[in-house]
């Protein structure tokens, strides 16, 4: 089973490869990061690591046995005991329950290690796989939204009573 690791600077080459290899796959169901993301990848990664160091965000990579990145599971905009969850799983690793298990683990980390009490998430209506992951991991629909012009749903998950163990 892949392991969950906090993002580090030495993950940069593998993370860039993961994003490039899966760009078209991701863009089919979530808004594309755009060309600027890839052109400024090293600078962006340094900024993310500074945000992580400041406790504003918590970035995690799902790393397989051979060292390949199979997914990203992030907590962003940490404030007032909550954060926003985001995740993406590589095309070659999808459909194996990795997103569900990784989101469950990040929920435990959020409650136990990061002291959070709630997580929010959002996904487009046409992303049935993401909606299923959120439902399986205890998130409840709270309303509608638009994500890069596409209709979507917002979700909330209480972390009360959840621990890192």
Say if CB 21 and CB 67 are below 8 A apart. Answer: no
Q: What is the CA radius of gyration of the chain?
A: 15
Q: Is residue 164 part of a domain?
A: no
Q: Is residue 165 part of a domain?
A: no
Q: Is 18 helix (H, G, I), strand (E, B) or coil?
A: helix
User: pLDDT at residue 63 above 90?
Assistant: yes
Q: Is residue 163 part of a domain?
A: no
CATH classification at residue 59: 3.40.630.30
- Determine the average pLDDT of the residues in 85-93: 92
DSSP 62: E
The number of distinct structural domains making up the chain is: 1
- Determine the average pLDDT of the residues in 50-70: 94
Q: Is residue 53 part of a domain?
A: yes
Q: Model's pTM, two decimal places?
A: 0.89
Which residue segment(s) compose the domain that 122 sits in?
A: 3-158
The torsion region of residue 95 among left (phi > 0), alpha (psi -120 to 50) and beta comes to: left
pLDDT for the residue numbered 85: 98
Q: 54-58, 128-132, 146-150: which range is least confident on average? A: 146-150
Q: What mean pLDDT value characterizes the chain?
A: 91
Q: For the segment 13-39, what is each residue's pLDDT rounded down to a tens digit?
A: 999 999 999 998 887 777 678 788 888
Q: Is residue 138 part of a domain?
A: yes
């Amino acid at each position: 089973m892949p392991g969950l690791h906090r993002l580090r600077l030495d993950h940069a080459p593998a993370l860039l490869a993961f994003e490039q290899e899966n760009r078209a796959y991701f863009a089919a169901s979530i808004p594309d990061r755009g060309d600027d993301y890839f052109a400024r990848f090293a600078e962006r990664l340094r900024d993310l690591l500074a945000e992580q160091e400041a406790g504003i965000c918590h970035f995690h990579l799902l790393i397989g046995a051979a060292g390949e990145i199979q997914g990203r599971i992030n907590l962003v905009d940490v404030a007032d005991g909550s954060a926003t969850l985001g995740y993406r799983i590589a095309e070659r690793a999808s459909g194996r329950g990795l997103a569900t298990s990784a989101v469950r683990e990040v929920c435990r980390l959020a409650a136990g290690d990061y002291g959070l009490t709630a997580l929010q998430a959002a996904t487009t209506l046409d992303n049935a796989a993401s909606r299923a992951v959120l439902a399986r991991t205890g998130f409840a629909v709270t309303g509608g939204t638009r994500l890069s012009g596409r209709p979507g749903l917002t979700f909330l998950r209480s972390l009360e009573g959840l621990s890192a163990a």
